[in-house]
Amino acid sequence: MVHHFEPTHYYNTIGSHKPVLHVSDGDTIMTSTVDARGQDNTGETVTRRGNPQTGPFYVENAEPGDTLAVHLDKLTPNRPIGWTRPVVASHIMDAEYIRTVAQDIPDTETLCEWEMNVEDKTVTLINPTNTRLGRMTLPMSPMVGCFGVAPSLEQAISTATSSNHGGNMDYRGFVEGVTVYFPVFASGALFHIGDGHALQGDGEIVGTGIEISFDVQFTVRVLKGKKSFWPRGENEAYIFTAGNARPLDQCIQHATTEMLRWLQSDYDLDPRSAHTLLGQCVEYDMGNVYDPAYTMVCKIKKILLENIGINTHSVHNDFSRI
Amino acid sequence: MVHHFEPTHYYNTIGSHKPVLHVSDGDTIMTSTVDARGQDNTGETVTRRGNPQTGPFYVENAEPGDTLAVHLDKLTPNRPIGWTRPVVASHIMDAEYIRTVAQDIPDTETLCEWEMNVEDKTVTLINPTNTRLGRMTLPMSPMVGCFGVAPSLEQAISTATSSNHGGNMDYRGFVEGVTVYFPVFASGALFHIGDGHALQGDGEIVGTGIEISFDVQFTVRVLKGKKSFWPRGENEAYIFTAGNARPLDQCIQHATTEMLRWLQSDYDLDPRSAHTLLGQCVEYDMGNVYDPAYTMVCKIKKILLENIGINTHSVHNDFSRI
Amino acid sequence: MVHHFEPTHYYNTIGSHKPVLHVSDGDTIMTSTVDARGQDNTGETVTRRGNPQTGPFYVENAEPGDTLAVHLDKLTPNRPIGWTRPVVASHIMDAEYIRTVAQDIPDTETLCEWEMNVEDKTVTLINPTNTRLGRMTLPMSPMVGCFGVAPSLEQAISTATSSNHGGNMDYRGFVEGVTVYFPVFASGALFHIGDGHALQGDGEIVGTGIEISFDVQFTVRVLKGKKSFWPRGENEAYIFTAGNARPLDQCIQHATTEMLRWLQSDYDLDPRSAHTLLGQCVEYDMGNVYDPAYTMVCKIKKILLENIGINTHSVHNDFSRI
Amino acid sequence: MVHHFEPTHYYNTIGSHKPVLHVSDGDTIMTSTVDARGQDNTGETVTRRGNPQTGPFYVENAEPGDTLAVHLDKLTPNRPIGWTRPVVASHIMDAEYIRTVAQDIPDTETLCEWEMNVEDKTVTLINPTNTRLGRMTLPMSPMVGCFGVAPSLEQAISTATSSNHGGNMDYRGFVEGVTVYFPVFASGALFHIGDGHALQGDGEIVGTGIEISFDVQFTVRVLKGKKSFWPRGENEAYIFTAGNARPLDQCIQHATTEMLRWLQSDYDLDPRSAHTLLGQCVEYDMGNVYDPAYTMVCKIKKILLENIGINTHSVHNDFSRI
């Protein structure tokens, strides 16, 4: 079933809020998200800033201990202008460098504006245009900055951060066509989504991607009895796991441990094979290093598993057939 | 001038050791390296284990405050069998996971052996072959694990770790065709090289790549008066900087700060342009997370600079013309 | 005014929950707390485990931007037996040490039991008694493990962790006679308290102090317009600030920055004096290193300020006169 | 035997340098150290700055795998004026705070000067005197900032940092009367000592204590076959271990693991007793958080061990009888 949902209010936390819609296993939801400052597709500020979330969506039959699969069907910027912050965050630079160049660091409050070209899939810097970058044009790559499910213990966690429930991971790999798996901590999973970026560098080191409102479409599936501990995902080429914490070293521990669990439970690898495969073939992508919790993603190419006779057909493939 | 150098002894530290050869700006050195355990191209153990280094090479006219450019001309495994450790390092996994699965973790001392196929550029697991991986074949990608120049203060720093002088960075991007730039801290720079890997996953999380002895060829250039703070590098597509420290958060600070300096000093970017470009276009690759100091690499695509009219022709291009 | 409040329910998050009682500036509350597993003064389990909190208490006239002062008048274990976990947490030991000694680490689930002697102010290990410790007796030092005010954005944050609103700091200095200052983020401040420990080592490295239910008495004051960023406190001898984050390095940054602010805004120190005083006289105490966020406390002796003619009379002194 | 040794040169690394003196097990050495900038007891600069070390002293019969005990007999400032840096290091403050207050942070290069009063055991700020601190007088507490033994692998490690060989730990507990134990990595142990502080706050957060030249006297003992992994120490009241690394979280792991080893190998504690004792009684002191590697100290009161019938008589007691 396909639901068209028009949001009327948004949340700045991911939590056990009253659901805006009840949907079933296999349903598709078409809706929209406002940008990080609460501006909608008309540019109007309709809610409080800070990655406001559309939802939560209650998925029938999802219970704690299950896993919720969310396939990102479509992510489309739905207004002409997005914005970015202009300065690398202080904690991303050497502390002593900040002190010595503080006067030369650009004004942190004057935002940049970027024009969307959805047909060409490009973005163009349109303000200011008097820097060396001029009217720089870059490829568009729409991605979800912040999404997830209600955390454990009826917590309501700020959309500025992330944890095992997902949240503000700002990973460039959360693009159209990807399937994301979240551990379920509350009845109905209570899925939230927001904070669209037309483009973003690794780490979101200026504190923003190109912030923009989205039209989004996604499809949900409940994996009954499937236990997971951290967000997982897959695309055509990779399976991956995400660890969210600080410092990054700890993200690596979470993501790597989750991958070891996954390879052994679902992909038929004995411990020695799982460890050896990771040793020589693992790849890591860096999500957010701006927020209170950082994100690191641990990836394995599916072809490596296929080459040794392991079937990587999965929920993701079912989604792709839709 | 081309030097053929046959090493007779090796060092387990990078330091102000007596040079094995004096070379000039622009010279090319053809030599060999032993593997991480001190085994040479015949498989014989010829020196103490721990990333033994060939060198140091004294480069005439390189003085503290200059930068040494090293172009990796050729990196070729020179014996038939390499080896890897079989277990993800304990500090890469969740601490509590280790405690609970300690009994099931594979024996950490039984190495894997891999066959080199230099013509096909592949490696094949040949021992053990009774795991789920069987005789898995992977693409070969020879890289330098540990190299660098003598550090400041006549320090002699273990090849197990890394710092601003380079060292055991274990970055998969240090392959043939790359130019690496090291800050010079001692007269003659005193370049060391060793620890070849036929292949390695990101992070060197099992503590080894596929460890193998190499035939290596490299060419050196002295960039007089060029000040740098951390290792830098470039290939056809990217310029990059490497930060070495712990935790990874600090590597990111070092590498990002060094990139900001470089973009502003050599690539004609005003501060706002440098910050904005990094914000939406930076990429990070993870080097070693196994050693006492970790490594993170900050990258920018050259095409982005070219597209806004900035010339990225550099020492690297000169090397490439050779 | 003195309120006697008997709790009927508890929260496992600190958040904008419905207040259990409205109190006024200057009021004193006498109430009780259950232990970390939800057991009350009779030993009965009356609520879900995980540092259940008594409250929240709505303090009239406390608004975001103000500071709430809470004086801990009395903290008294109110049942005969407390308990501790028996094993240092895995992430507090070297990762490789855990792997190699995992089999020898004591059973993590068999708790220790300790007898309270409130008159003598001692605790005695009573189960097991067949270890080398025998019936070891230690001085009692009752302290609050977890308390704080509702965080910003209507968040509800697990009592397993801590942040700028307070939370599970497990600092041994939060004893009777101390005044704690919390930044106010929500109308009424919404003060929560729980997780009493009869004794605890630095860091709460086994994951518990001696967990026990408490009779507690505290007095609140609203400091209108007093801006603070992190929990602060004072006792007869010290003023102190607490930073909560991970890694500990970041806690130090938060606590030290807060102390620099406080010394300059309230204690009449010019920047150079504040920096120089901290440089040679600062002391740090370590709170929790067990939880998702760690805690570090930055302290300055009041006598140092008095000796240079600075008045350290404060809200704390007013409380002490009561 | 007592040796009077007058240094003629100093090292800025701790390493396998040529010994300046050979001494025997039980010998006492009376010598002097210059301050962190290489200034001696006359105030003259006699060597390169950066914690220059007196030594190394070769202790006969000390071999890798042994432990060297060093009793700090006397530490006496030997000139009238010491100095400190005036500003908390940038990496000890919140990154964003630094950016916003950079202009107001005091000039980092103008040092403070302090007058020594060895008889009264006080220090007095004498320059500048126009700050709010005026001519502040503080209790003197002379301590060793940097000392240790030659590290493994013939490394020579900068005196700016620390590791398992000791080094720049800047722990306020290294005062007269303390016995320090170092793992021996090289024949003769090769003990170095320097960097005296008349006083220091926890963490050495301005990058210096009150830097001063010292007259020092110490006595050495070789503990044959005694294996240790990290520096240990003891005084009248405590046994303690030091972990050196970054971030602080890792220092805690090293120090706590070393204490668990020590309690079980030398103090007759079964694993459960060792873990339980640490859980409720451990104390941590913070050493340096300024340098590349930080330091954390894990302590247990001797009286706790005595109370359960464990003999804490040790090498330390033998020294104390001298």
Put simply, whether A168 touches B (Cβ < 8 Å) is: no
Whether residue D209 and residue C270 make contact (CB cut-off 8 A), yes or no, is: no
Q: Which residues contact D163 (CB under 8 A, 6 or more apart)?
A: D151, D157, D244, D245, D293
Q: What's C204's DSSP letter? A: G
**Cα D29 to Cα D10: distance, rounded to the nearest angstrom:** 16
Q: Is the pLDDT of residue A322 over 70?
A: no
Backbone conformation region of residue B198, classed left if phi is above 0, alpha if psi is from -120 to 50, else beta:
alpha
Q: CB D158 to CB B156 under 8 A? A: no
Between CA C6 and CA A27 the distance in angstroms is: 48
Q: Which two tokens stand for residue C245?
A: 């984050």
Name the residue in chain B with its Cα closest to that of A198.
Answer: B280
Phi, psi for B276 (deg, rounded to 5): -70, -40
CA distances from A66 to A69, A222, A314, D313 (A): 10, 7, 16, 58
Among the residue ranges A280-284, B101-105, B235-239, C317-321, the one predicted with the least confidence is C317-321
- Of A102, A148, A253, give the one whose Cα is nearest residue B205: A253
pLDDT at residue C321 is higher than 80? no
How much is the pLDDT for D62?
A: 98
B307/A136 touch (CB, cutoff 8 Å), yes or no: yes
Strand, helix or coil for residue A299? strand
Could you tell me how far CA D125 lies from the centroid of its own chain? 24
Cβ of C92 and D125 within 8 Å?
Answer: no
Interval C187-227: pLDDT, tens = 999 999 999 999 999 999 999 999 999 999 999 999 999 99
Chain D closest-CA separation from residue A151 CA (Å): 26
What span, in angstroms and rounded, lies between the C-alpha atoms of C180 and C161?
18
The least confident of B96-105, B189-198, D301-310 is B96-105
Q: Which residues pair with D243 in a beta bridge?
A: D296
Q: What is the mean pLDDT of chain B?
A: 97
How many angstroms away from the CA of B159 is the closest CA of chain D?
10
- Kindly list the residues from chain D whose CB atom is less than 8 angstroms away from the CB atom of residue C206: 275-276, 278-280
B29 contacts B75 by C-beta, under 8 angstroms = no
Count of pairs with CB atoms under 8 A, one residue in A, one in C: 43
Task: Identify the H or E element spanning B217.
Answer: strand B214-223
| Mean per-residue pLDDT over chain A, rounded | 97
List beta partners, residue D199: none
pLDDT tens by residue, B84-111? 999 999 999 999 999 998 888 888 888 9
For residue D322, the model assigns a pLDDT of 58
pLDDT over threshold 80, residue D320: no
Query: Beta-strand (E) ranges in B60-136?
Result: 67-77, 81-84, 112-117, 122-127
Q: Is the pLDDT of residue D108 over 90?
A: no
Residue A32 is inside which H or E element, if any?
strand A28-33
> Could you report the per-residue pLDDT of A200-256, keeping only the tens digit for each?
999 999 999 999 999 999 999 999 999 999 999 999 999 999 999 999 999 999 999
How close is the nearest chain D Cα to the Cα of A91, in Å? Answer: 5
* Rounded CA separation C33/C299 (Å): 28
- How close, in Å, is residue B155 to chain D by CA atoms? 5
Instruction: Provide the pLDDT for residue B205.
Output: 98
**B13 vs D153, D247, D250: nearest CB:** D153
Angle made by CA atoms B257, B261, B263, in degrees to the nearest 5 = 115
Of chain A, the percentage scoring pLDDT greater than 70 comes to 99
What's the pLDDT at A321?
A: 61
Rounded Cα distance between B257 and B308, Å, is 22
**Using the beta-carbon criterion (under 8 Å), do A90 and D102 form an inter-chain contact?**
no
Q: What is the pLDDT of residue B132?
A: 96
Contacts of C141 (CB under 8 A, 6+ apart): C121, C172, C175, C198, C199, C200
> What's B175's DSSP letter?
B
**A245: closest CA of chain C, how far (Å):** 8
Neighbours of chain B (3+ CB pairs under 8 A): A, C, D
Residue type, D14: I
% of chain C beyond a pLDDT of 70: 99
Tell me which H or E stretch contains C101. helix C95-101
Q: C50: left (phi > 0), else alpha (psi -120 to 50), else beta?
A: left
Task: Test A13 with C152 for CB contact under 8 angstroms.
Answer: no
Q: Give the pLDDT confidence score for residue D208 in this predicted structure.
A: 98
Q: Quick one: which of B105, B123, B190 has its CA closest to B154? A: B190
Chain A CA closest to residue D98: A99
Per-residue pLDDT of C66-88, as tens digits, reads: 999 999 999 999 999 999 999 99
Q: What percent of chain A lies above the pLDDT cut of 90?
A: 93
For a pLDDT cut of 70, what percent of chain D falls above it?
99
In Å, how far are B150, B160, B165, B287, C110 from B146, measured between CA atoms?
13, 8, 11, 11, 47
| pTM above threshold 0.80 | yes
> Chain D partners of C256 at a C-beta cutoff of 8 Å?
88, 92-93, 205
Minimal Cα–Cα distance from A194 to chain D, Å?
A: 26
The C-alpha torsion from B91 through B96 and B98 to B101, rounded to 10°, is -160
Among D199, D254, D272, D300, which would you mutate to test the C interface (most chain C Cβ atoms within 10 Å of its Cβ)? D272
**CA-nearest residue of chain C to B100?**
C102
**Identity of the residue in A208, A273, A289 whose CB atom sits nearest the CB atom of B132:** A273
Q: How far apart are CA C263 and CA C279, in angstroms?
A: 13
Pairwise pLDDT comparison (D55 vs D103), residue with the higher score: D55
Q: Sheet containing D21-23: which strands, arranged edge to edge?
A: D21-23, D53-59, D191-197, D143-149, D166-168, D162-163
Does A281 have pLDDT greater than 90? yes
Q: At what angle do helices B271-281 and B248-266 cross, to 10 degrees?
A: 130
pLDDT in tens, C33-68: 999 999 999 999 999 999 999 999 999 999 999 999
Do the strands C179-183 and C232-234 form a parallel or antiparallel pair, or are they unpaired?
antiparallel
Q: Do C257 and D134 make contact, defined as CB atoms within 8 angstroms?
A: no
Residues of chain A positioned with their CB less than 8 A from the CB of B267: none
β partners of residue C259: none
Across the interface, of B156, B247, B250, the residue whose CB is closest to D156 is B156
Contact between C267 and C321 (Cβ < 8 Å): no
Among the partner-chain residues D153, D158, D245, the one whose CB lies closest to the CB of B155 is D158
Burial class (CB in 10 A: 0-12, 13-18, 19+), D160: buried
Does the CB of D167 have a partner CB in chain B at under 8 Å?
no
Say if A257 is an interface residue toward chain B (CB within 8 Å): yes
Instruction: Please give the span between the terminal C-alpha atoms of chain A, in angstroms, as a whole number.
Output: 12
**In terms of Cα–Cα distance, which of C316, C322, C286 is closest to C302?**
C316
CA distance B309 to B306: 5
DSSP C296-313: EEEEEEHHHHHHTT----
The residue whose two tokens read 């901290």 is: C278
Whether a cis peptide bond, with omega within 30° of 0, leads into B247 is: yes
In a mutational test of the C interface, the residue from B99, B105, B107, B108 whose CB has the highest number of chain C CBs within 10 Å is B99
Which of C37, C86, C228 shows the shortest CA–CA distance to C149? C228
C322: pLDDT strictly greater than 80: no
The pLDDT score that the predictor gives to residue A106 is 81
Contact list, A154 vs chain C (CB under 8 Å): 12-13, 156
The 10s digit of each residue's pLDDT in B36-80 is 999 999 999 999 999 999 999 999 999 999 999 999 999 999 999
Nearest-5° Cα angle at C288, C285 to C290: 145
C106 to chain B: nearest residue by CA? B99
Helix axes D248-266, D271-281, angle to 10 degrees: 130
Return the amino acid letter for A125: L
Chain-wide mean pLDDT for chain D?
97
Average pLDDT of chain C is 97
Which residue has 């009161």 as its token pair? D301
The sheet with strand C81-84 has its strands ordered as C81-84, C112-117, C122-127, C137-139
Is A68:A43 a contact under the CB 8 Å cutoff? Answer: no
Closest CA to B133 of A297, A279, A284: A279
Residues of A in contact with C154 (CB under 8 A): 12-13, 156
Please report, rounded to a whole number, the percentage of residues in chain B having pLDDT higher than 70: 99
Show the tokens assigned to C243.
Answer: 């930073």
Report the residue from C87, C272, C304 with minimal CB separation from D275.
Answer: C87
**D4-50 per-position pLDDT tens digit:** 999 999 999 999 999 999 999 999 999 999 999 999 999 999 999 99
Question: Which B-chain residues 78-137 have CB contacts (< 8 A) with chain D?
Answer: none
Q: Quick check: C210 and D280 CB within 8 A?
A: yes
The rounded distance, in Å, linking the Cα atoms of A257 and A263 is 10
Cβ separation B94–A271 shorter than 8 A: no
Q: Report the DSSP beta bridge partners of residue C21.
A: C57
Contact predicate C30/C217, CB 8 Å: yes
Contact A275 B105 (CB under 8 A): yes
Neighbours of chain C (3+ CB pairs under 8 A): A, B, D
Residues 170-229 of B with CB under 8 A from A: 199-203, 205-206, 208-210
pLDDT digits (tens, 9 = 90+) for A38-58: 999 999 999 999 999 999 999
Is the CB of A157 inside 8 Å of chain C's CB atoms?
A: yes
B158 to chain D: closest CA residue = D155
- Tell me how many helices (H) and strands (E) chain B has: 5, 21
Tokens 């990217």 belong to which residue? B238
When pLDDT is averaged across residues C138-163 and rounded to a whole number, the result is 98
Task: Give the pairing of strands A2-4 and A28-33.
Answer: parallel
3-state secondary structure of A116: strand
- Do the Cβ atoms of D268 and D277 come closer than 8 Å? no
